[in-house]
Amino acid sequence: MGTPKDAVDSSSICSAVCPIVSSFEATTWTVVLALGFVLVLYLPWCRGDRDKRDVILTRIATTGLLAFFSVLGVLLRVGWRCVACTNGFERLLYSVRGWLFSSLLTASAYLGDLAMIVVDRVPIIERLEPDRYVRIRNYVAGPILEEIVFRGVCCTICMCAFPESNLHAYSTPAMLFSISHAHHAIRLIRTTNYARRDILATTLANVLVTGIFGLYAGMIFTKLGGIVSAITVHVICNCMSLPDVEAILRHRYKIPFFLLFLTGMGIFAVAVMFVLV
């Protein structure tokens, strides 16, 4: 069946069926949606403690409406055929294979952590947030809505503007995806006594990590068959967070676990370089 990279090179298809969208229009779409995704969180009915049940549900509903209308907008602008070719709906076989490949690829980055979980018999649930509604936000609604807006809509419209360059299609949404997470600094300033320097460092680290993830999810979306793959890797990364190298090095089996970690990261890096880039 070929490699995942062979299966999903859609630039020639998109250039044939997608309308011409200017780079300015595509960038405007992406900027407006990124800003909108953040600003709706500060509407009067969405304000409050972000971890409270009512605030979580209200924000999910509000961002859900934004996602719905953004999908409707891109369908009206570029048409179903273009969305189908960029999202992989016309290539179901490749989408399924891309989903499996991207899931295993993402899991490979956590080989050391997964080995600790298995050996220590730690239930996965213990790594997750304890509150049910926070779990719904972090591991279900958040990944779905963010991927629909930033990959499903923004990457699609950018692919119509740059049908010969997937790099442009996923790099601009990824950059704005990372910047959109900078608003968490406002919460830290309001609710903690951290020094401004610490808040700045935390915010920059968050922006950097989400930017790297945005690039990865964008490559998954544009090259491995669609939105479901991007959502899946987002869920995996949210559940696992960053690889816990410190815990690995403290473990009684630190040498084999660290070797597994290095092996997994090596597999991940090589696969990204030769399949996704």
Q: Which of 63-77, 88-102, 244-258 has the lowest mean pLDDT?
A: 88-102
Looking at the whole model, is its pTM more than 0.95?
no
pLDDT band with cut points at 50, 70 and 90 for residue 83: low
Neighbour count for residue 20 (Cβ, 10 Å): 10
Is 102 within 8 Å of 220 (Cβ atoms)?
yes
Q: Residue 4 has what pLDDT? A: 52
Report the percentage of the chain scoring pLDDT > 70.
87
Helices 53-78/23-39 angle, 10° precision? 160
Q: 93 versus 241: which is more confidently predicted?
A: 241
Instruction: Read off the tokens for 153.
Output: 């809509």
